[in-house]
Structure 1
Amino acid sequence: MANRREFLKASALGAVSLGTGVNTFHIGKTKRHLSDELLGHGDFQYRLDRAWGDLDPARTPVNNCHEMVMDRRDRLFMLTDHPKNNIIVYDTGGKLLFTWTLGFSGAHGLTLVDEGDAEYLYVTDSGLGKVVKCTLDGNVVMELPTPLQVGTYTETMPYRPTETAVAPNGDIYVADGYGAQFILQFDAKGQFIRKFGGDSFLQPDKFKQVHGVAMDLRDPKNPTLLCSARIKNTFKRFTLDGQHLEDIYLPGAFISRPVLDGDNLYSGVCFGMSEGNYNMQLNKGFITILDKNNLVVSNPGGTAPRYENGKLTLMLQEAPVFKHCHDVCVDRDKNLYACQWNAGGIYPYKLHRV
């Protein structure tokens, strides 16, 4: 299959000048080490570049590469839980632009919001139980109160936030994915509104590890909230006031956060695990891609999606490419960037769309 993007020239970014506390670099040339093997299925196939994001670990170390987002200047902001550099910024060619840190050793979730006059990042630290809003150069402009501070949790309820999503009206939704399993809703100024969800294996409006949350704006007149119930192998859809609408069951997929791009829904799969079957495929993972009808159309690194009598069959890793695929970012040319955790300090991979 011909590479539709092979002849696109990589855009060159100019010098970056940022404020105090930001380390600025311009390192190396565009890196391309494409594999011959195609990953994925149907119209969503890719060539893998394992070396795309490689850096000097003595200078720019990572523990886990948790999440990545792209700003309107096509810069890729990658979150790591190494306190020396929580944010590592690349261009699409894999060149390191700059880094900064909040000193978070539990940095986990990264959400980019375009407010028109400026873009901002929401960062969660699941260890400290913090959610902060930052400028793109790392200045904290707001910290959300904890659920204990606003009186919606008791002292015995754990709070370990993993992800955020921001609605068109500015409301902020925090997934307490490693804590008490609630979605917490705040207004744009950080005032608490409500919580919904909670911890239950059987109840459809509750979660088992609400690891990720994202705003689904594919129907602009009817925005909804997509949440990953990771241990249930399920994306759950809610109204913006917390009413459960539907489940999207992905058997075998220990899914991370939902990532929306165009008509498609993407997610990193950390390893295979079937609901009711806890024989996990450790140190394995893949990426899963769904269409606008919630049908899986491709699994780069995984088995081909197969439906029997309208139901999706078990999905597992097939190609030994990923260890724990924690997040996926999509650029304007529909290439993918994969972040991995518990993977021995691996930098992000790039998957070139063909």
Structure 2
Amino acid sequence: MSEKIPRREFTKITAVAAAAVTTAVLTFKPFYILHAKPKADEEIIGHGSHRYKVHQTWGNLDSSKFPINNCHEMVQDSKGRLIMVGDEVKNNILIYDRSGKLTESWGHEFPGGHGLTLWNANGEEFLFICDPNIGKVFKTDLKGKILLTIEHPSKVGAYKEADAFKPTETAIGPDGTIYIADGYGSQWILRYTPKGEFIDKFGGPGDGDEQFSTAHGIAIDTRNKANPTLLITSRVHNAFKRFTLDGKYISTIFLPGAFVCRPVFDDDTLYAGVCWSRLRYLNQTPNSGFVTILDKNNKVISNPGGTKPEYRNGELQIMVQDKPIFMHCHDVCIDEDKNIYVCQWNAKKTYPVKLERVS
């Protein structure tokens, strides 16, 4: 199944983005992105101290044996294996080594396999898989054995039966609390105990600071060791929103032009795939993905495949795709050498792409 595109993502235009792009749009080419094809390997992309060589064929496999529809997300386990989830039930999970060799595959139960979170519980590792198509979240071991299933929140009184529940992502708190982002459903963030018992919910749909429009991703930000927080995607708002671990709104990181997916942390750096950028008529533009990278102060420092980040009077200007390297970047995974592995949605069944760090 393909990535769900909420109707609001085709119609909602934020006033801030409109103001930022008034002059910038005229300098871009609004039609080539719609029709361009990805270029060949070896191109260098990115900016400043974060530049990368593109290896588009890194993850290619025999599609007759290991087919894919969409490469949704990827994580790395403690052994350095790169674990990818997709929505092809012949092999929902593909596990690579860093050379791009397939080492294992499994999974036939997740027709909308979408969110993938790795949880290291005192040396024992587990996966959390979100499937918005069937409206369930699964906890598994690294071999695919299902250990816990979280179903529609109406079963615990958190939703009405008619409310949509289409979970897109999970995050696991320091105490094992399970956070579920209902990004394609009702826009709530739901909290559960490690045993899957419902605690509460926060957020919901809307344009308030504490609300979401496509709460697509969620992660625990531990860069401040003494004060971990939640960073949650609000994709239509082109933003990440920060909350306390018990769901109190703190602040927003506005990323004008970038329809970001989940936040991914590596040391003090924040990475994210950008599924679309704004260009034509300020709306999301097809095939306009790139990767965005933020420093420890949450300032954008590089946009591999996108325009160079620019700040004017401290305000980030609109960011769009610059080179047709990617189509819809859905997730990134960072290895020990700071290389980036990019998963794409709706990209003509493209396997993961490697970006080799060169500076």
1:102–1:138 CA contact under 8 A, matched in 2: no
Separation in structure 1 between the aligned mates of residue 151 and residue 285 of structure 2, nearest angstrom: 37
- Classify the secondary structure of the residue corresponding to 1:161: coil
User: Which residue does the alignment assign to 1:5?
Assistant: none
Q: Over residues 226-246 of structure 1, what are the superposed CA-to-partner deviations in whole Å (9 max), with x where a residue is unaligned?
A: 000000000000000000000
Trace 1:54-133 onto structure 2 (pairs within 5 A).
Answer: 54-133=60-139
Residue identity opposite 1:248 in structure 2: I
TM-score (norm 2): 0.87
Give per-residue Cα distances to partners, 1:80-136, cap 9 Å, x unaligned.
100110100000000000100142111110000001241000000001000000000
SS at 1:148's partner residue? helix
Higher relative contact order (CA 8 A, sep 6+): 2
Seq. identity, %: 51
- 2:162 is paired with a residue whose SS is coil
Q: Distance in 1 between matches of 2:298 and 2:281?
A: 24
Aligned to 2:224: 219
Q: Is residue 175 from structure 1 mapped to residue 178 from structure 2 by the alignment?
A: no
Distance 1:332 1:120 in 2: 20
Which residue of 2 is the match for residue 29 of structure 1? none
Moved more, 324-333 or 111-120: 111-120
1:291-335 Cα offsets, whole Å, 9 max, x none, are: 111100000000000000100000000010000000000001100
In the TM superposition, residue 273 of structure 1 has moved relative to its aligned partner by 2.7
Aligned position for 1:28: none
- How many Å separate the matches in 2 of 1:59 and 1:42? 40
* Partner of residue 322 from structure 1, selected from 319, 326, 329: 326
**Letter aligned with residue 334 of structure 1:** K
Shift of 1:37: 2.5
Q: Matched residues in 1 for 2:348 and 2:62: separation?
A: 14
Matches of 1:144 and 1:259, distance apart in 2: 24
Could you say which structure has the higher helix fraction?
Answer: 2
TM superposition score normalised by structure 1: 0.88
State the partner residue of 1:279.
283
Distance (Å, rounded) in 2 between the aligned partners of 1:186 and 1:102: 26
Deviations 1:30-87 (A, max 9, x none): xxxx944211001100000001000000000000000000000000000010011010
The code of the aligned residue for 2:240 comes to F
Map residues 249-288 of structure 1 onto 2, 5 A cutoff.
249-273=254-278, 278-288=282-292
Distance 2:84 2:283 in 1: 31
- Alignment RMSD (CA, Å): 1.4
The one-letter amino acid paired with 2:283 is N
Alignment match of 1:304 (pick from 308, 314, 329): 308
Query: 1:207 maps to which residue?
Result: 212
Aligned counterpart, 2:36: none
Is the contact between residue 74 and residue 83 of structure 2 (CA under 8 Å) also seen in structure 1? yes
Q: Pick from 198, 202, 205: which aligns with 2:204?
A: 198
> What is the aligned residue count?
320
Unaligned segments of structure 1, at least 5 residues: 1-33
